[in-house]
Amino acid sequence: MSRETALPSVESTLHGNILVLTLNNPPVNALGVEVRRGLLAAIDSATDNPAVAAILLVGAGRHFCGGADIREFGKTPQAPTLPAVVKHIEDSPKPVVAAIQGVALGGGLEVALAAHYRLALDGARLGLPEVLLGLLPGAGGTQRLPRLIGAKAALDLMLSGRHVNAREALELQLVDRLADADDALAAGLAYTRELLSSQAGVRRTRDARALGDQPLQREQINAAREQLAHKSKGLLSPHSIIRAVEAALDQPFEQGLQEERRLFLECLDSPQRAGLVHAFFAEREVLKAPETRIAQPRPIEQVAVVGGGTMGAGIAVSALDAGLRVTMIERDQQALDRGRGNVEKVYDGLIEKGRLDAAGKAATLARFSASLDYQDLAQADLVIEAVFEDMAAKQAVFKELDRVCKPGAVLASNTSYLDINAIADSVSRPADVIGLHFFSPANIMKLLEIVVPAKVAADVVATAFELARKLRKVPVRAGVCDGFIGNRILAVYRQAADHMMEDGASPYQIDQALRDFGFPMGPFQVADLAGGDIGWATRKRKAATRDPAARYVQIADRLCERGWFGQKTGRGYYLYAQGPRSASQDPEVLAIIEAERARAGITPRTFSPSEILRRYMAAMINEGANVVHEGIALRPLDVDITFIHGYGFPRYRGGPLKYADQYGLPQVLADIREFAEEDPRFWKPSPLLVELVDRGTDFDSLNHAD
């Protein structure tokens, strides 16, 4: 074995007559410019070196390759491009073998597809997830993959972005060989030697014949296009993927590559790509809370929930699904039976859908117990309180927890709005108290706001982040205030929507404008889903402290007074004559709105969809800026992730503050100032927004400040 010169990101080592090229760019061997240069040079030197009979590509560390370097997107491109490198690999006159351990994703799989033979180790995961970043495979993937595995399977991989395991990759003929080994180098060398001894030569994927049956392939492409019309509303790159595969069918390879390149660059330039890449990095940044850097999490095995209603049951299911043991406490036997029933219902639903069997349910519920006795929480590592939204009720629960829980147990509240400092101060161990704000349904929604009160210990915060990891939630660190990050901002843009409704827009127009923007539901649909009674109770509670000069729209109160709480009562803003899924517009609601306008002395005016959006987003962005300004959110990206994972904000727009950057902060500020002319009390520009505009910078600049 002898070492050759190489650029540092690609190590080049001769093993007998096999040149091993090791991608070495931690943590995932992304194909940054140094790696691309290294690969190109190494392939050239292998071609010129008579001692080399074959080339083996492997990745250093855990992974073969995580794809193109996402951090380079949007920056000035540097040669060589990845398509050029990939072409070089495929054109190698000496056989190239890729041995895949860990992941081969995106450009990483495209490199492997350009190799002449592919071996996957057990545990390998392969995929083309570019669509999740608003892109299409741009290094020949859209042309090689259909030729290798057919249009249908290729479209499935590229449109879903899903990862396939090694076995499925073999079944799809995406790889040629599996190795039940954990050393890619050894397995790869053995396979390459075998290929050499059987005189296997160069075999280019571009010459593969899986697109042979043209009419069938075209049918499959059409079917994918039809499905897409229903599924990926508003997204650009899935359509580009289909067009690229069509080019693979219709055009010679080189022309297909050109079409792929054109479509790739179009996607690369799109705001959708910028939004999705922002979301990708933001999801990783939110994990890096200051406390997680300085403290180790406490061990969590035994979890308890107090309250088995909507949230308590959902949280219990989430913890059970993560393999934890869960005890539920309720206030009386009837409520306890209902709480247990709420948990069982989730698993029965899965059985009905064929996604679980009775034995699976029994095995999960074996880790679940329900009790009326707080003493049963003595060994709990973490208790999550989810009783009624009432400070006295919560403090009474915490008093019990303080009495029975072992030292070091984490005591959490799922409160939506209440002051967690006041809860913490009511017990003898405030350092153990934290907010864990799950979203409904708690076993499905990804967001977990980790609300950090003044006296909490750093390791309790770290434990909350570790819990989020175990539960597969997306955690966002939030400070204490009324509504934390999400509900505080929601309260403001909901008011903006109510103002528009009273001024002349119907709730149906407003919902439509927001669905067209990309939200799955508009705010009035959401209100009907959540139940109007909860907001009504909050409004009544706050009535005494409300600023009497502030505008207050009473339409929601009029609906609630009639018992119209939304889906659960069969009517709210919408009528649900045929059950929760059958929403129709309600002329009686429109009449109530008319009457309220008249009562308030308002002459209704019309609103265009773009004005609705402008006002709604300005309210959301402005309060988002306040939340960052006050340190409730650490950075703008924390607001973005909160809205993407908790409030249905379209991911491809990157979150409200990323959207604000794209829309232009000076324009947001101008909008707010324009609206303030009618209602200066409601529309007060956030000091942070003003400051960013004055400095000529954007929210994103704060995401990168240390």
User: Any contact of residue 140 with ligand 3HC (CB under 6 A)?
Assistant: no
User: Any contact of residue 281 with ligand NAI (CB under 6 A)?
Assistant: no
Selected binder of ligand NAI within 160, 310, 495, 569 (CB under 6 A):
310
Pick the catalytic residue: 130, 246, 291, 330?
A: 130
Selected binder of ligand NAI within 20, 96, 397, 672 (CB under 6 A):
397
CB atoms within 10 A of CB 363: 11
Q: What are phi and psi of 280, to 5 degrees?
A: -60, -50
User: Any contact of residue 107 with ligand 3HC (CB under 6 A)?
Assistant: yes
> Which single residue brings its beta carbon nearest to ligand 3HC?
106
Selected binder of ligand 3HC within 95, 106, 479, 532 (CB under 6 A):
106
In the complex with ligand NAI, the residue whose CB is nearer, 271 or 309, is: 309
Q: Which does 519 bind (CB under 5 to 8 A by kind): ligand NAI, ligand 3HC, none?
A: none
| Dihedral, CA of residue 607, residue 610, residue 613 and residue 617, to nearest 10 | -120
Selected binder of ligand NAI within 38, 83, 307, 523 (CB under 6 A):
307
In the complex with ligand 3HC, the residue whose CB is nearer, 61 or 609, is: 61
Bridge partners for 626 per DSSP: none
What is the closest distance, in whole angstroms, from the C-beta atom of residue 84 to ligand 3HC in the complex? 12
Q: Which does 275 bind (CB under 5 to 8 A by kind): ligand NAI, ligand 3HC, none?
A: none
User: Any contact of residue 71 with ligand 3HC (CB under 6 A)?
Assistant: yes
Distance CA 350, CA 340 (A): 16
Pick the catalytic residue: 4, 11, 34, 110?
A: 110
Binders of ligand 3HC among 274-313, rule CB under 6 A? 281, 284
Selected binder of ligand NAI within 414, 443, 642, 703 (CB under 6 A):
414
User: Any contact of residue 311 with ligand NAI (CB under 6 A)?
Assistant: yes
Q: Is 110 considered catalytic here?
A: yes
Distance CA 372, CA 376 (A): 8
Cis peptide before 441 (omega within 30 of 0): yes
Selected binder of ligand NAI within 156, 183, 389, 630 (CB under 6 A):
389
In the complex with ligand NAI, the residue whose CB is nearer, 370 or 592, is: 370
DSSP classification of residue 429:
-
Distance CA 209, CA 222 (A): 20
User: Any contact of residue 105 with ligand 3HC (CB under 6 A)?
Assistant: yes
User: Any contact of residue 415 with ligand NAI (CB under 6 A)?
Assistant: yes
What is the closest distance, in whole angstroms, from the C-beta atom of residue 335 to ligand NAI in the complex? 4
Which residue type occupies 662? Q
CB 19 within 8 A of CB 10: no
Helices and strands (H, E) in the chain, number of each type: 30, 20
User: Any contact of residue 537 with ligand NAI (CB under 6 A)?
Assistant: no
User: Any contact of residue 135 with ligand 3HC (CB under 6 A)?
Assistant: yes
Structure tokens of 98?
Answer: 């890729």
Distance CA 107, CA 103 (A): 11
CB 377 within 8 A of CB 302: no
In the complex with ligand 3HC, the residue whose CB is nearer, 9 or 414, is: 9
Cis peptide before 27 (omega within 30 of 0): yes
Closest C-alpha to 450, from 662, 634, 674, 625: 634
In the complex with ligand NAI, the residue whose CB is nearer, 398 or 465, is: 398
How is 48-88 classified by DSSP, letter by letter?
H-TT--EEEEEESTT-SB--B-GGGTTSPP-SSPHHHHHHH
Selected binder of ligand 3HC within 20, 40, 43, 82 (CB under 6 A):
82
x/- string (CB under 6 A) for ligand 3HC, residues 14-43? -------------xx-x-------------
What is the closest distance, in whole angstroms, from the C-beta atom of residue 138 to ligand 3HC in the complex? 4
Structure tokens of 339?
Answer: 């709480």
Instruction: Describe the strand order of the beta sheet including 10-15 as a list of residue ranges.
Output: 2-3, 10-15, 18-23, 54-59, 96-100, 117-121, 177-179
Question: Largest Cα–Cα distance in the chain?
Answer: 91
Q: Which does 133 bind (CB under 5 to 8 A by kind): ligand 3HC, ligand NAI, none?
A: ligand 3HC
Helix axes 656-663, 271-285, angle to 10 degrees: 140
User: Any contact of residue 329 with ligand NAI (CB under 6 A)?
Assistant: yes
Closest C-alpha to 652, from 237, 137, 155, 67: 237
Selected binder of ligand 3HC within 67, 146, 479, 685 (CB under 6 A):
67
User: Any contact of residue 4 with ligand NAI (CB under 6 A)?
Assistant: no
Q: How far is CA 215 from CA 221, 222, 238, 299, 536, in A?
A: 10, 11, 22, 58, 59
User: Any contact of residue 137 with ligand 3HC (CB under 6 A)?
Assistant: yes
Q: Choose one: 43-51, 438-446, 550-558, 580-588; the region binding ligand NAI (CB under 6 A).
A: 438-446
Q: Is 246 considered catalytic here?
A: no
- Count how many Cα atoms sit within 13 Å of the Cα of residue 663 in the half-sphere of its side chain: 21
CB 324 within 8 A of CB 468: no
Residue numbers annotated as active site: 110, 130
Judged by the rule CB under 6 A, the positions of this chain that interact with ligand NAI are 306-312, 329-331, 335, 339, 386-389, 393, 397, 414-416, 438-440, 530
